[in-house]
Each structure stands twice: as structure tokens, then as C-alpha cells.
Amino acid sequence: MTTQIHEATPVPAVASTTTPQAPAARRVVRPIPMTRLVGVELRKMFDTRAGFWMMASVGIVSVLATAAVIIWAPDEAITQNTFSTAIGMPLSVVLPIIAILSVTGEYSQRTGLTTYTLVPWRGRVMAAKVASTLLVGVVAMVVALGVGALGNVVGSAITGLDATWDISLAQFGNIVLANVLGMLMGFMLGVLFRSSAGAIVGYFVYSLVLPVAFGTLAAFQEWFRDLQPWVDVNFAVTRLFDQTMTTEYWQQLGVSTLVWLWIPLAIGLRAVLRAEVK
Amino acid sequence: MISVEHLTKQYGPFTAVDNVSFTAAAGRVTGFLGPNGAGKSTTMRIMVGLTRPSTGQVTIAGRDYRELVNPGLEVGVLLDASAQHAGRTGREILAIAAQTMGLPKSRVAETLARVGLTETEAERRVRNYSLGMRQRLGIATALIGDPQVLILDEPANGLDPAGIRWMRDLLRGFADQGGTVLLSSHLLHEIEVIADDLVVIGQGRIVAQGSKAELLAAAGTLVRTADPAQQDHLARALHEASVVTNPIDGGLRADADPELVGETAHRAGVVLRELRAADGAGLEEMFLELTAETAREGAAA
């Protein structure tokens, strides 16, 4: 028996000398799929208090706006369109900020140091951020549509009138597009500034200062009036919400977003890909 | 293995890293030592693709960092323990890293335990962490993918003496299992207890490199005379024997082995109180000397 014990003892010794070599052996390392990166970016949007409340605000804003319409709107105005406008306005402010923070968080909180080390292809990280941001945007709008529809049903029941469903699928599509463009604007400002404060200030200049400036210019300068739809991106985008788009409107949307969105987005992305991460 | 070849990084007219070449070998802990602003962090950021070099290249196990398909599983990186989202919990930060690498969730708890962060600490948000806890979390992020290479920038910063000892044992174990460790520090004695090899950098240039044993041997002999008045006498005697000396801590550091110094003292009739290899003291002096012309304090010294 004792000899057996003696024979048995070398076994752990052998094991302990072989295990140290184990990490040195090359494992099969699989590439990181894009879906995983999108999942990670979605997670990062929700996992801080600020991020969580940002997302929660989408739902809260929808409910508050719906309640406000039911309480204050005159009976004949209780239509789906009223609800969608009431919800859409605050939503179009919140969604671009979500887009901004998804990019600038990496720089303001310096998490980019880890993110770009684990995924050293920044183009893929950016693509995952765009995808997750747009996913959140579309889901938020579907939620808003649902809440608005519910409000329409409840509101109509209170007024005793038949519910008015006056939003076509095409119209909803346009609203989604307008918000997607808004989020891409936020994203563009994020990659351009790479700082939360800078990008949010930039966003308010974009959405509050520029429209007023262009509007004033158009009001006082004859020559600018016809030009405005081509250069004022907010003017061009806002028409998606409330008008039937004509071919010319689409062209104006294309031209104004080229200048105010696509070109700066390209410049910002180039900067993100090249800039040193500290 | 990490191989740095003729790496140069210029910012306009300023050269942050100047033709740096060295190797961090597998199975060894390589200490990257230099005063603040010497170019350590820039070199490390270049290694992991966060900064583009002006010229030169770095390969890790023969490949460029960007060629690694899932870098977290091959190279563990900690560049700045403070660069973590203050609003996330420690567990969440680790979970994000695990998810990115495609690791099972169970690895998060295992790794937290491995770096000595308790369950309650892991649930706290990082803004409430001490620097030492952030370092442990950063090391956890580096370790979770079970990589073969570790690149750690100032990992001992903010750790208490017990923490430094823990990290030394951790890195020792990692290297003994065949892993490659490169860690930087601006504190000599911190790195001296951990590293096998040293690379000393000053103002972007490598000023010394080699195994710790070699550099310690080069550090010479420390000798103290029983009567301080006799020190000059001994210095002169050593000088006549063509041994370079310089005063250090009420004694002399001599560029010779202890045997020769003892013999010289004996012939000169000087009574010695202490005679030994200079070790740390000598290395520290060498470090200050090597970096003196480059360090900020150089002008005053």
C-alpha cells in the first residue's frame, strides 16, 4: 500500500510542472463578430445612471406628452397626429443627445483607452455605435408610436368621439427618417468634438441658433428666401414631419444634409480613426 | 514576446520617443524605467495601436497589434487605471471587457477574486474607488482574457505595500508560466523587486538595458570606512588602483568588485566597517546618473 502512495505522489508534481506551460500554448482565437460589438455598445448606453435615465426619459417623455395632450388639447384635436407631434418634439431633442454621448463618453470618461485596446479597429467600433444608436432610436420611436396610439384611444374614449388615425405608414417612415438624421447629426458632432460638453453645445447651436439665424436672414433678405431650403438643414429636415415631400424637397434635404451632416461626419470619422487616444 | 524596433514618435519638433529598440522576453518580467515624461507611456500606447509611431514598429509574438483578431485574449493591457467610467460599477466594467472578448460571465467573478476585489467592492461605482482599487480593477481587465502578454503602465501606482507584494507575486507567477510581462515605473525600488530585465529610458532615449543582475553588477561596490576621516585616504588609494569612486550615503561607491576594493583598503591600511555589492543603492545612483542630463531635476544636480 505504501508503495502505491509513493507512486501516486509524483502525479501532482508532474501536473504542477505541466500546467505552467499551458498558457504559453497558442489557443484558437476567434475574431470578434460585429453583432457582439453592437451588443456591447448597447449595454454601455444603459449601464450608467446617466445613460439609464437618458433612456428612461424617452418613455417618460412619451407618457407625459400624451397625458398633456389628453388634458389640454381641444376635443377635435385629439388625433393620432397631435399625439405624435407632441411626443416627437421632445424625443427629437433627446435622441441626438443619446447619439452624442455614445461617442463622447469614450473620450470624456477616457474609456476609449480600454475600448480601442480591446477592439483596435476604430471604424468597427464606430459602426457598432451607429448601429446601436439607430437601433435605440427606432425602438424609441416605435414605443412613442405605441404610447401615442394608446393616448389616442384613451383620449377618444374620454371625448366620446371616434378615434382619428391620421398617420400613414409613409408619414411614420418620414418621422423615423427625420429622427435618424437627427441622431446622425448628434453622432457627427460627437466624432467631431470628442467631448460631451463641446458636442452638446454644438448640438444646441445646430438646433436652436442656426434655424433662428437662417430664419431671420430669410425674413429680411429677399435673395436668401429661395436659397434657405437648400442650406438650412433644420428647415429641410423639419418638413419630413409635417409635409408631403416633393422631389424638390428631397433634393433640398439631400443638399443641405450633405453640407451639414455627411461631409462633417466624414471629417469627424477620419479624425476618430487617426487621432491619438490618451 | 514584445519586440520594439527603432521606434520614434515626433510631435512637431518635439521627439517623445527617439529610436527606441528593446525586447521583452517570454518568461521574464521586463521593467520599463524612466522619470516622468521620458516616453514610457507613449511607447506603450504605440504598442497597442492607440498612437501611431512616426517610424519604427512594435510586434507582439511576431505580429502587429492590429493583426490580432481578438487582442484581449492575447495581450492584457493596463495603461491608466483612472481611465474607467466613473459611473459604472467595477463588475460592470469587467463584464463589458468579458463580453467584448466573448468570455463566459463566470470569468468576471473569478477574475474579481483573483485581483482581491470583494463582491461588495465590485458593486460600487468606480468614482468611489481608491486608486489602489482602480489599479486592481485595471489589472483584472488585463488578466480576464487569460493572455500570454501583459503590458502595464505604472501598475503599482497607488497600491499599498501589501498590494505591491501581491502584484509582484502575481507577475512573477505569470512570467514563470511562460508569460511576457512589461511594466513601467518611475520608481526604481518598485520595479527592482519585480523585474528580471530592465530598460531605462530618459528623454525618449534608452540609456541602459540588460538583466537586473548585469545592471546590479555594473553598479559596483559600496564601501564604508570605520573612521570617516579615512574615507578620502581610501578614495585616493582606489584612484591609484584606477578605480573610479563617488561618495554615496556617507560611504563610497566604487566601480570594482568587492574583492579588489577590500584588497586596496587592506594595502592602504584603512579599517572598513562595511563592504558589499552596491545593489539597489548603486542601481539607484546609476538611474539618477543616467537620467540626470535628461531629468527635470538635472539642472539643479
Distance between first and last Cα of chain A: 64
Residues B112 and B239 in one domain: no
Residues B27 and B175 in one domain: yes
Segments forming the whole domain that contains residue B93: 2-209
**How is B56-92 classified by DSSP, letter by letter?**
EEEEETTB-GGG-SSGGGTEEEES-TT-S-TTSBHHH
- Chain A CB contacts of B96 under 8 Å are 40, 43-44, 47
Residues B124 and B95 in one domain: yes
pLDDT band at B168 (very low <50, low <70, confident <90, very high): very high
CB atoms within 10 A of CB B39: 23
Q: What percent of chain B has pLDDT over 90?
A: 63
CA–CA distance, A139 with A94 (Å, rounded to integer): 14
Domain with residue B295: its CATH number is 3.30.70
CA distance B273 to chain A (A): 45
Residues B147 and B167 in one domain: yes
Cell numbers representing residue A55 in the block: 433612456
pLDDT single digits (tens) B60-69: 999 999 999 9
Residues B101 and B145 in one domain: yes
Q: B209, B239, B261: which is the final residue of a domain?
A: B209
Residues B198 and B282 in one domain: no
CA–CA distance, A2 with B166 (Å, rounded to integer): 39
Nearest partner of A143 among A84, A225, A194, judged by Cα? A84
Query: Of residues B231 and B80, which shows the higher confidence score?
Result: B80
Nearest partner of B88 among A25, A183, A105, judged by Cα? A105
ipTM value > 0.85: no
Residues B167 and B268 in one domain: no
- Chain B CB contacts of A19 under 8 Å are 177
Residues B252 and B291 in one domain: yes
**How is chain A classified by DSSP, letter by letter?**
-HHHHHHHTHHHHHHHHHGGGGGGSPP--PPPPHHHHHHHHHHHHHSSHHHHHHHHHHHHHHHHHHHHHHHHS-GGG-BHHHHHHHHHHHHHHHHHHHHHHHHHHHHHS-THHHHHHHS--HHHHHHHHHHHHHHHHHHHHHHHHHHHHHHHHHHHHHHTSPPB----HHHHHHHHHHHHHHHHHHHHHHHHH-SHHHHHHHHHIIIIIHHHHHHHHHHH-HHHHTTHHHH-HHHHHHHHHHSPPPHHHHHHHHHHHIIIIIHHHHHHHHHHHHSPP-
Residues B194 and B224 in one domain: no
Q: B174, B209, B244: which is the final residue of a domain?
A: B209
CA–CA distance, A240 with A249 (Å, rounded to integer): 9
Angle at B263 between CA B261 and CA B269, to 5 degrees: 100
Residuewise pLDDT in 10s, chain A (278 residues): 333 444 333 333 333 333 344 444 557 788 999 999 999 999 999 888 888 888 888 888 888 988 998 888 888 888 888 888 888 888 888 899 999 999 999 999 999 999 999 999 999 999 999 999 999 999 998 988 898 899 989 888 888 888 888 888 888 888 899 999 999 999 999 999 999 999 999 999 988 899 999 989 988 888 888 888 898 888 888 888 876 788 899 999 999 999 999 999 999 999 999 999 98
Say if the Cβ atoms of B85 and A276 lie within 8 Å: no
- Chain B CB contacts of A32 under 8 Å are 69-70, 100-102
Residues B203 and B223 in one domain: no
**How is B168-217 classified by DSSP, letter by letter?**
HHHHHHHHHTT-EEEEEES-HHHHHTT-SEEEEEETTEEEEEEEHHHHHH
Q: How many domains does chain B have?
A: 2
Domain with residue B106: its CATH number is 3.40.50.300
- Chain A CB contacts of B77 under 8 Å are 114, 117
Residues B121 and B23 in one domain: yes
CA distance B149 to chain A (A): 9
User: How far is residue B206 from each of residues B1, B4, B81, measured CA to CA in Å?
Assistant: 19, 12, 25
Lowest mean pLDDT among A80-84, A138-142, B153-157, B297-301: B297-301
Give contacts of B 50-109 with A, CB under 8 A.
50-52, 65-66, 68-74, 77, 79-80, 82-88, 92-93, 96-97, 99-102
Residue B301's pLDDT is 36
CA distance A54 to chain B (A): 14
Residues B69 and B185 in one domain: yes
Nearest partner of B24 among B187, B140, B174, B217, judged by Cα? B174
Q: B182, B209, B236: which is the final residue of a domain?
A: B209
CA–CA distance, B11 with B19 (Å, rounded to integer): 14
Residue B286's pLDDT is 66
Cell numbers representing residue B44 in the block: 506603450
**B91 Cβ neighbours under 8 A, 6+ residues apart:** B108, B112, B122, B123
Q: What is the mean pLDDT of residues B182-207?
A: 89
Name the amino acid, one letter, at B67: E
